[in-house]
Structure 1
């Protein structure tokens, strides 16, 4: 197909293709997938989902997630045997890519990563038996990367696992002897300073493995920085990270192909089929984007597929903006300006959001975030625990309060007092557009009722007033869907207060806004 041949980047001595579009298992869909019967996708269903992401939707890559969820460890066997005709032409590891997001062993039990490593090794054997010459999996994503030593440690663990497997089973050396590691960096502060992690990594790698790193695919998180610090810090940190990665490339000669993980709603990234151009311009320089479940299932399939074609055609053509040292200092200052009011409000609303989030439907087989199994998210330097980003975002939207607005008004006020608004708009050109898109889902009546019961919500009333002055218009419904959404979230607030079940209302509101959270 024509779109499959356009604007592919080849990297490394082997000339591997850099995927432009990575389908993920993030459970942010509110609608039933076009190929399925319910919104819920089980572990066994994910094999079919992987195939359909490649075959039906044209994605280049699929993230197989081992972090905090149950996994079908026989994924490669199932793909090869159930869909042999497709993969005999579209080889995994050459034309299509399966990339494991492994558990962070400093946060989850280590035995889960051992299972992932064995799946990589045995999957390579399975591919070889069927005559495939490429290792199906040769890259893994390490979530919550915060230093270079952890990246090296994972690669050493994998190498030892390969050698031990060979010795124990008296077989030839199987599986890729080395795996590439994709650092997923999740805090806004860590993103801004992430060039130092890459510099230390390539130095340690060369000393440990006696050859140079050919390329790196640094992974920029958008959801968790927003949950931790608010929308504006998350956006500018991501843009700062893109700039830092290309500075690293210019400094070292090691090519970078940044990935960004974005959901459909503005708070989690704003990558939706109806906003592709804005997204590509805002995050120019990224070479791979994630299309999560809402992107694929909450829009008409033809619309989603056309958007994926556009991403594959154009994403590699966007040149990064390189920020000066002065601009990077501005980004750091804005991070503090906007994070402070956001965190202050979220800390005081945590119990409410945790309560609402318990009613958000779960569409994947997540491991419960209790004890040693899994982990929830929390605000940095705070003991407050929060739901994961999708449930967090869904909870606020279900109350009619888009989290994009929280702290942002007070941040705008502070930036204006410092004479920095023009600098902010230069760094974040889409800020007004993003606020308008989110603000259409604000339910002011709900906000007034919440504020009457808890003064913390009055901070958000302040935010709304400042932001309406800033964008020059009111946050009001602008189409029929917005009015219907307002009705659903009004129902949710009343049903929550009366102790009634409201999961179906949450789901109905999610369908209207084309994303659960």
Structure 2
């Protein structure tokens, strides 16, 4: 699943500017289908730059391609909608987006001369209850579709007689679980949602990036492992196939999915049916590498999840996350200072994150995950090292059994450590290098030195170019 996450260093060739706008994202959808061979594009329906006429634009602008590749059958467009319980200012965009689905159906029916819906699934972020999922499912069926049977002015004429019929009759709602509480209870939430429905399958989206920012790398991976094991058990108990989606980025902290790590990440999450490929994956590597990696992801075999001892995982997570937050708090000011210099890559607004709310972390306010990650790498502190000091040798042995790429991910991160960074807390460097050894990339180290010097000397004009230089070495922004 291609997404619009802005973690790329390089600007794609089809973009008008360095910040992709609505028309650029239409081109992007065509590019990932036609050139990268990716079968699904997430379309984010939040923010003023969003284009709800994407289906019409794709079918009319790229008619020859879509004539041979049916949208909704061969390739897919999946909408990410606002969560009205969380994003109050965006709540009615949810209704507008749901209303656009029958309109897109009509456009596709004229183009293809069939009744295959081009859009039939939506993603609900920050899901925490089964009613949040069900509200969308029922609203669409009862109001978006149901209104066609209403009569106008007490007469015999229905809305369907006046406007035409509305299709598809139902949509699938994919819950996206993003925090610890909701991820640990994802199987219960989904189980309750599917209880009174006859669904052929249920997709479930698990965040990997925001949990890393909120709880640290190790806790994020363990949370995903627990959720995947529980969802597999739900599938066995109900007989309803559950198809997990894992939201991973290119930074080790955010999932470490790059064209050269497909096999590793597949082995880490063997029961995942879908992985996100974000912007760095698509634009910071040669197209052939990205295309071959997409092909490998599409053809991989899916198997059962790793077994996990949930109780022991939670015990380790509690101590580790406490240390992670303790080490993060002193860095919050410099993170926010650097964040203002991280270049934007999308014009649409970013979504609300957990750190956008008051938390028991000293009232800390931090940027979203990509900017957060980029800021820490830019000062020579890979975020993967935060919290490691809390893990004993026994803890590490357990983590390695569950998190199979633990050492390799940390080795990838260790290359971007600056051991002389003034923001490196006591014990952080030793905790990392005791696991990875000295693997520091000297070019990246020098780039972070330049960033820190420019920051000290208030040479703000140079900071962003130095940040981009360091990111180019990593092949991801954040």
TM-score above 0.5, yes or no:
yes
Say which of 108, 112, 134 aligns to 1:127: 108
3-state SS of 2:163 partner: coil
In the alignment, structure 1 residue 82 sits paired with structure 2 residue 61: yes
Once the two structures are superposed, residues 99-147 of structure 1 have per-residue CA deviations (whole angstroms, 9 ceiling, x without a partner) of: 0000111122322112211221210111112224211110000000111
Task: Return the alpha-carbon distance in structure 1 between the equivalents of residues 247 and 14 of structure 2.
Answer: 24
Match of 1:67 in 2: 46
Once the two structures are superposed, residues 46-89 of structure 1 have per-residue CA deviations (whole angstroms, 9 ceiling, x without a partner) of: 10100110000000100001235630111011011001111111
How does the TM-score come out when normalised to structure 1?
A: 0.85
- More off after superposition, 84-93 vs 346-355: 346-355
Match of 2:144 in 1: 161
Task: Return the alpha-carbon distance in structure 2 between the equivalents of residues 166 and 388 of structure 1.
Answer: 44
Once the two structures are superposed, residues 438-487 of structure 1 have per-residue CA deviations (whole angstroms, 9 ceiling, x without a partner) of: 001001122xx23xxxxxx42xx41221232234x22x42xxxx322222
Task: Return the alpha-carbon distance in structure 2 between the equivalents of residues 69 and 405 of structure 1.
Answer: 37
Say which of 331, 335, 338 aligns to 1:349: 331
Say which of 393, 402, 419 aligns to 2:382: 402
Q: CA RMSD in A?
A: 1.8
Matches within 5 A, 1:251-270: 251-270=237-256
* Pairs aligned (count): 460
Task: Give 1:38 deviation, angstroms.
Answer: 4.5
Task: Return the alpha-carbon distance in structure 2 between the equivalents of residues 122 and 93 of structure 1.
Answer: 14
Say which of 276, 295, 299 aligns to 1:290: 276
Q: Contact 2:373–2:383 (CA<8 Å) still a contact in 1?
A: yes
Match of 1:33 in 2: 12
How does the TM-score come out when normalised to structure 2?
A: 0.92
In the alignment, structure 1 residue 375 sits paired with structure 2 residue 352: yes
Task: Return the alpha-carbon distance in structure 2 between the equivalents of residues 376 and 282 of structure 1.
Answer: 26
Rate the CA distance shift 1:166–1:507 in 2: closer, same or farther, 3 A: farther
Task: Return the alpha-carbon distance in structure 2 between the equivalents of residues 498 and 158 of structure 1.
Answer: 56
Once the two structures are superposed, residues 407-436 of structure 1 have per-residue CA deviations (whole angstroms, 9 ceiling, x without a partner) of: 12x1323xx3xx333222111121111111
Match of 2:477 in 1: 516
Structure 2 gap segments, 5+ residues each: 151-158
Q: Contact 1:188–1:238 (CA<8 Å) still a contact in 2?
A: no
3-state SS of 1:103 partner: coil
3-state SS of 1:53 partner: helix
3-state SS of 1:217 partner: strand
In the alignment, structure 1 residue 190 sits paired with structure 2 residue 151: no
Say which of 381, 384, 397 aligns to 1:422: 397
Match of 1:328 in 2: 310
Match of 1:151 in 2: 133
Rate the CA distance shift 1:290–1:25 in 2: closer, same or farther, 3 A: same
Task: Return the alpha-carbon distance in structure 1 between the equivalents of residues 376 and 148 of structure 2.
Answer: 48
